[in-house]
């Protein structure tokens, strides 16, 4: 289905419409077939095939995430997927998304864009964003924001610093021309996230040890140990409930529903190591904190081009045992326990596990630049801020 067609003119002069124009050079198609969905998912792998920093999403996860029958986020979200063609060749993609739950929570009328990739041609960039904007306008939206996805566990934020650094499995990578195009088209900063690379110390810092001892004596906190993933599963849902409570005040978040939690548990359970799953209980055996870390899967997934078969699974299993970099997915603590040293317990156990497995570097996921609490966790470590990513905003015309 042809959704929009565009002549190649000065970007500022391009007009949009639902009708097909004559002799177009750029055509925007709405994804409507399984073949087009595969092309949508595979496009960034082809775009970045010679880029050593790029790490794709797992194709099997993306097929679920973009399927309204399989992704529970569609209970409160709706999407349209677009492919951009130039001379019959795919040159870009974009997912337009309306998160009605977040719009209601924040009192906004935003259409989001995500899964946004294109060649270095600003006309293609504008054509894709115009398609997102036009659909949002049809739905009564007042602004376009992105890249940001279904929820906080979906990838979010366009890379604006750190293009020379390898991507994490849980984040986007993009060329420097992406933000340059957006800023040329009038998009402005909404929020930024920063990411840190942390040197794992050989010896646990004294302050963390003292805080841990005081915390355990005063509050009776304890770290749970699991021998099997089956043993850990009953606590996984409780961990995500903690995640909902801890992350509720942050930008762009909405509570994960129970079906969403089930989906994420299925997606991540095989991609983590029990050495780095930390569940903290109080003296009443209530879960009050959780830390999810994992050996980096970046090389394994990149080398497999986002596919599990034929060798993807094997590479992932090897990485879980032999990777020398640790990805810090998140640390979440119930709000009423956030000043009681729970995070210190998790960090100490993380250092012990990393040292046992010969890991010397850890990399954080994106942290809002204004989130002083989480950045304060790294004050005892040698760190390097090495990436910055941004959500952009623009009023709908």
- Domain at 306, CATH number: 3.40.630
Asked if pLDDT for residue 231 goes beyond 90, the answer is no
Residue 183's CB is within 10 A of a number of other CB atoms, namely 14
pLDDT at residue 361 above 80?
A: yes
Q: What is the pLDDT of residues 378-395, one digit of tens each?
A: 888 999 999 999 999 999
Alpha helices in 139-186 (DSSP H): 177-184
- Residue 101, both tokens: 């739950």
Residue 216, token pair as written in the block: 């355990």
Instruction: Answer with the one of 171, 192, 213 that is the final residue of a domain.
Output: 192
> In this structure, is residue 372 part of a structural domain?
no
What is the model's pLDDT at position 226? 86
* 166 and 42, same domain (yes or no): yes
**Domain span holding position 30:** 2-192
Instruction: Please tell me the predicted confidence (pLDDT) of residue 359.
Output: 93
Question: Residue 2: pLDDT above 80?
Answer: no
Total domain count, the chain: 2
Q: Looking at the predicted structure, is the pLDDT value of residue 356 above 60?
A: yes
User: Domain check: are 220 and 172 in the same one?
Assistant: no
Q: Token pair 């640390």 is at which residue?
A: 331
Cα(81)–Cα(133) distance, integer angstroms: 13
Distance CA 193, CA 175 (A): 17
Has residue 336 got a pLDDT over 70? Answer: yes
Q: Are residues 73 and 169 in the same domain?
A: yes
Q: Give 16's pLDDT tier (boundaries 50, 70, 90).
A: very low
How confident is the model over 50-61, as a mean pLDDT?
94
Mutual angle of helices 342-356 and 206-219, in 10-degree steps? 130
166 and 22 part of one domain: yes
Q: Residue 24 pLDDT more than 60?
A: no
Burial of 44 (0-12, 13-18, 19+ CB in 10 A): buried
Inside any domain, residue 314: yes
The overall average pLDDT reported for the chain is 90
Q: Are residues 138 and 268 in the same domain?
A: no
Note the pLDDT of residue 94: 98
Residue 84 vs residue 265, higher pLDDT:
84
The pLDDT assigned to 232 comes to 87
Residues 226 and 171 in one domain: no
Q: Is residue 128 domain-shared with residue 236, that is, in the same domain?
A: no
For the segment 168-219, what is each residue's pLDDT rounded down to a tens digit?
Answer: 989 999 999 999 999 999 999 999 999 999 999 999 888 888 888 888 888 8
C-alpha to C-alpha distances, 355 to 65, 274, 341, nearest whole angstrom: 35, 15, 22
- As a whole-number percent, the residues of the chain with pLDDT over 70 amount to 94
Residues facing residue 362 across a β-bridge:
198, 326
Token output for 324: 């020398």
Indicate whether 232 and 343 sit together in one domain: yes
Give the count of beta carbons closer than 10 Å to the beta carbon of residue 220: 12
């Amino acid at each position: 289905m042809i959704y929009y067609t565009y002549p190649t003119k000065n970007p500022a002069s391009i007009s949009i419409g639902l009708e097909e124009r004559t002799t177009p050079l750029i055509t925007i198609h709405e994804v409507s077939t399984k073949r087009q969905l595969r092309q949508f998912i595979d496009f960034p792998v082809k775009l970045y095939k010679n880029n050593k920093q790029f790490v794709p999403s797992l194709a099997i996860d993306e097929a679920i995430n973009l399927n309204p029958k399989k992704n529970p986020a569609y209970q409160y979200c709706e999407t349209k997927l677009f492919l951009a063609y130039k001379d019959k060749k795919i040159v870009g993609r974009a997912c337009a998304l309306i998160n009605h739950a977040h719009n209601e929570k924040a009192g906004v009328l935003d259409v989001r864009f995500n899964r946004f990739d294109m060649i270095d041609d600003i006309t293609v960039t504008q054509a894709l964003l115009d398609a997102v904007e036009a659909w949002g306008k049809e739905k009564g939206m007042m602004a376009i924001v992105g890249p940001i996805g279904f929820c906080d566990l979906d990838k979010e934020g366009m890379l604006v610093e750190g293009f020379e650094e390898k991507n994490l499995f849980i984040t986007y990578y993009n060329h420097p021309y992406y933000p340059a195009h957006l800023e040329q088209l009038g998009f402005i900063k909404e929020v930024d996230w920063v990411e840190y690379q942390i040197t794992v110390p050989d010896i646990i810092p004294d302050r963390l040890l003292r805080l841990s001892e005081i915390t355990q004596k005063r509050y009776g906190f304890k770290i749970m140990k699991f021998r099997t993933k089956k043993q850990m599963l009953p606590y996984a849902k409780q961990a995500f409930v903690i995640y909902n409570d801890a992350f509720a005040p942050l930008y762009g978040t909405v509570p994960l529903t129970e079906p969403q939690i089930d989906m994420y548990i299925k997606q991540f359970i095989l991609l983590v190591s029990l050495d780095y799953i930390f569940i903290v209980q109080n003296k009443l055996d209530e879960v009050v904190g959780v830390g999810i870390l994992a050996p980096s899967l970046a090389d394994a997934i990149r080398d497999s081009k986002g596919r599990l078969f034929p060798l993807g699974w094997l590479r992932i299993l090897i990485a879980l045992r032999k990777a020398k970099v640790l990805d810090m997915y998140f640390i979440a603590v119930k709000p009423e326990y956030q000043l009681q040293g729970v995070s210190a317990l998790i960090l100490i156990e993380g250092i012990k596990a990393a040292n046992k497995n010969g890991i010397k570097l850890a990399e954080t996921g994106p942290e809002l630049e204004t989130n002083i609490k989480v950045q304060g966790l790294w004050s005892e470590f040698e760190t390097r801020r090495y990436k910055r990513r941004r959500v952009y905003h623009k009023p709908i015309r």
